[in-house]
Amino acid sequence: MQKLVHAARELFNVHISGMQMTALNAYEKELIEWNQKFNLTAIRDAESIRTKHFLDSFSCVLAWKAVPPASLIDVGSGAGFPGLPLKILYPNLKLTLVESIGKKAKFCEHIVRVLGLEHVQIVNARAEEVGQDSNHREKYDWAVARAVANLNILSEYLLPLVKVGGTMLAQKGESGRAEAESAGKAMKVLGGELRELIPVKLPEVTDERILVVVDKIAATPVKYPRKAGIPAKQPL
């Protein structure tokens, strides 16, 4: 864990307290145990969990420039990434996790209980349904997703959830730059405008990672997101 603490500080200016270390240790232990039964994530060993899950989640702080959002929705959260590590860092964050696969949503509920986290809501549903739900639509300061879909599809999942004046954040691999270029039209239709691309370097990870940051400058037209499955079949 000391390597993680050092890397978080050096790369992202994130300072991890003793209590946060304890929470991350417990999260890691539960993830390894549940993974043996339920196949939650392909990343299975402790070292990789620390770099490719925890540290990768922390990289989101580069996009919000030392001012964490009051509310964040994490779409396609899987086993809780990046939302839950960010909640551990920022206990006052109001967090919603959206995960359509039941066993992964259950794991997230379990972690929230084990760590005693408050103001975390877990929604076991498709992103398209949540985006049309008045409890969630245009209610969040930031919407984030990691490796969920191509950016023109992902924009239709995330932008409807963000308040005007809020921000969409997509954690992407090396395809992020090209995707950001080709998704410009989709972003515009949905009320978004590309702000910046932030490169991220993780220790001992050769693949380039990119944070795609999109400002919500106008309300999303009511017909978006379209019905479940349509954005992926007929991307904007």
pLDDT digits (tens, 9 = 90+) for 148-181: 789 999 999 999 999 999 999 999 998 999 999 9
Label residue 67 by pLDDT band (50, 70, 90).
confident
- Give the separation between CA 150 and CA 4, rounded to whole angstroms: 29
- Find out whether 128 and 159 touch, Cβ atoms under 8 Å: no
The fraction of the chain above a pLDDT of 90, given in percent, is: 86
Q: Is pLDDT at 184 greater than 90 in this prediction? A: yes
Question: Tell me, what amino acid is at 179?
Answer: E
Q: pLDDT class for 197, splitting at 50, 70, 90? A: very high
Contacts 24+ apart (CB under 8 A), 108-114: 108/77, 108/79, 108/80, 108/84, 110/30, 110/34, 111/27, 111/30, 111/80, 111/84, 112/84, 114/26, 114/27, 114/30
Packing angle of the helix pair 18-38, 102-115 (nearest 10 deg): 150
Q: What is the pLDDT of residue 27?
A: 96
2-233 fold: Rossmann fold (3.40.50)
**What's the gap between Cα 23 and its chain centre?**
19
Three-state SS string over 23-56 comes to: HHHHHHHHHHHHHHHHCCCCCCCHHHHHHHHHHH
All structural domains of the chain with their residue ranges: 2-233
